[in-house]
Amino acid sequence: MLEFSIILLTGGISLLFLMLYEARRNVVKIEEVRLPHFPEHMQPISLFFISDIHKREISDDIIEEVKGKTDLVIIGGDLLEKGVPLSRVERNLDKLLILGNVYFVWGNNDYEGNTTDVKQLFKKKGIIEIINSSVKVSLSNGMMNIIGVDDASTQRTDYPMALEQVSPEEFNLLVSHDPRLMNQVRKEDGIDFMISGHTHGGQIRLFGWGMYKKGRLETLPETTLLVSNGYGTTAVPLRLGAPAETHLLLIDRFRK
């Protein structure tokens, strides 16, 4: 009985350390995204995507790994949550600005902070908010629309309004914190690529099962979708089976 108790205790401690390790990982997943309707005249696009930072401070190692390799940065919501000091948010933004222009969509936990202070900080730093609208981004030999839709879980989403200034014939990147927006996306909308976070990949997955699907890149009839496990955690600072991640996305045309 004593030996069995020791085995259980050792296993429990090992599992706890694994969960702490997965929650604190500083990984940049480099992913090639081949899109069938990527404009032929455009050079490949490189973008850095990070979501669900929550209470974490972005590691300098991540910044060093990505520096000089990306055209722009997109924060997919939950930059902060209740209790996160604005000074930490500012440090994280300063790090991301080293990489290039930063675009931001709101997540549900972002609204737990003082939104007035956050918006003033964005204005001070030159962070580009996209709230149920779109911005045109000039890139090498072409233009991309970044369409940002506000958080669905807080009933702030207005997907039709976000599409008002874009054409399905243009190259359109849709950013929504909550991937459930996918339920509104139609093939005729001309969304070439959609990126989201929010789910944390289930955060803690037991025997492969979690509250949400694990983060993934998948091709759907309506568009290509990336859902990130995210960088931070919520509720408990632990992960299992859905490790923390950020993304360096290399976007180009699919060629047979």
Nearest CA among 204, 200, 201 for reference residue 19: 204
State which amino acid sits at residue 180: R
pLDDT at 10: 59
- Predicted structure pTM score: 0.94
User: Residues 52, 198: contact at Cβ < 8 Å?
Assistant: yes
Q: In what order do the strands lie in the sheet with 102-104?
A: 28-35, 246-253, 45-50, 72-75, 102-104, 128-129
Q: Along the 256 residues of the chain, how does pLDDT read in single tens digits?
A: 666 566 555 566 788 888 899 999 999 999 999 999 999 889 999 999 999 999 999 999 999 999 999 999 999 999 999 999 999 999 999 999 999 999 999 999 999 999 999 999 999 999 999 999 999 999 877 899 999 999 988 889 999 999 999 999 999 999 999 999 999 999 999 999 999 999 999 999 988 888 889 999 999 999 999 999 999 999 899 999 999 999 999 999 876 5
Rounded-to-integer distance, Cα 176 and Cα 194, Å = 8
